[in-house]
């Protein structure tokens, strides 16, 4: 995946690509060769238009900022046609999502691991993550992002019933629940550079199976008897 992302990065830099802010997403027109790379690298979702010489993609705020500030391969412009710098873009995205710093830290953390990251709202989570291309495998992880602050997204998984329902849902769609607990050393998040002060702790949460536990205990006891 890293090689594909590198090719997309080089192509976007060479073409001086610009994305257009549109609410909670960024629209970007791709050339034919870039269209294939976008699909292979799994950034954005194709938008159907009447244009035949280019393909438009709708990028999430996390995807757009990753391409702009981390890979530095696109520029993002506002409705007034002015290019937004990283700080302006950060403030805009914060105005759209109050918890954007946590979501973006989680997104970039998984992307740096060369995982594919997609929106997970249809499964009741923040993201779904693939270790390989979605054409080859189903998403392996349902990702929940929790912060080190009280309230907000931390109201999830507070009670055992929350865990139970979430794990049952993940199990029904063959996904493992991955919880990313994000804490920060600084109290402010005024720019993208502040994310260096954010730490990510990964936790895999699985459903306890009492029957399986009893079987394992029986096997251990048999082995002890033999010895």
Give catalytic residue positions: 130, 138, 175
Query: Maximum distance among all alpha carbons in the chain?
Result: 78
**Quick one: CA dihedral 12, 72, 94, 163, positive or negative?**
positive
Look at residues 172, 163, 173, 161 and name the one whose alpha carbon lies nearest to residue 207: 163
Alpha-carbon radius of gyration of the chain: 21
Cα–Cα distance for residue pair 92/57, rounded to 1 Å: 20
Cα–Cα distance for residue pair 119/163, rounded to 1 Å: 20
| Cα 152 to Cα 28, 57, 149, distances in angstroms | 31, 31, 8
Look at residues 74, 60, 81, 64 and name the one whose alpha carbon lies nearest to residue 18: 74
């Amino acid at each position: 995946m890293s090689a594909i992302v590198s090719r997309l990065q080089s192509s976007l830099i060479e073409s001086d690509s610009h994305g257009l802010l549109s609410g909670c997403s960024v629209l970007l027109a791709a050339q034919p060769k870039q269209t294939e790379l976008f699909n292979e690298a799994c950034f954005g979702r194709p938008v159907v238009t009447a244009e035949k010489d280019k393909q438009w993609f709708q990028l999430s705020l996390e995807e757009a900022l990753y391409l702009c500030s981390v890979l530095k391969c696109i520029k993002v412009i506002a409705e007034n046609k002015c290019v937004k710098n990283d700080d302006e873009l950060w403030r805009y995205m914060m105005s759209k999502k109050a918890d954007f710093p946590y979501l973006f830290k989680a997104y970039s953390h998984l992307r740096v691991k060369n995982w594919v990251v997609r929106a997970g709202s249809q499964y009741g989570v923040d993201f779904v993550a693939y270790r390989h291309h979605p054409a080859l495998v189903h998403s392996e992880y349902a990702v929940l992002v929790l912060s080190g602050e009280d309230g907000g997204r931390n109201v999830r998984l507070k009670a055992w019933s929350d865990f139970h329902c979430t794990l049952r849902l993940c199990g029904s769609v063959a996904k493992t629940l991955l919880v990313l607990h994000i804490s920060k050393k600084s109290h402010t998040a005024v720019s993208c550079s502040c994310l260096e002060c954010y730490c990510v702790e990964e936790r895999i949460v699985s459903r306890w199976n009492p029957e399986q536990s009893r079987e394992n205990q029986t096997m251990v006891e048999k082995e002890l008897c033999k010895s």
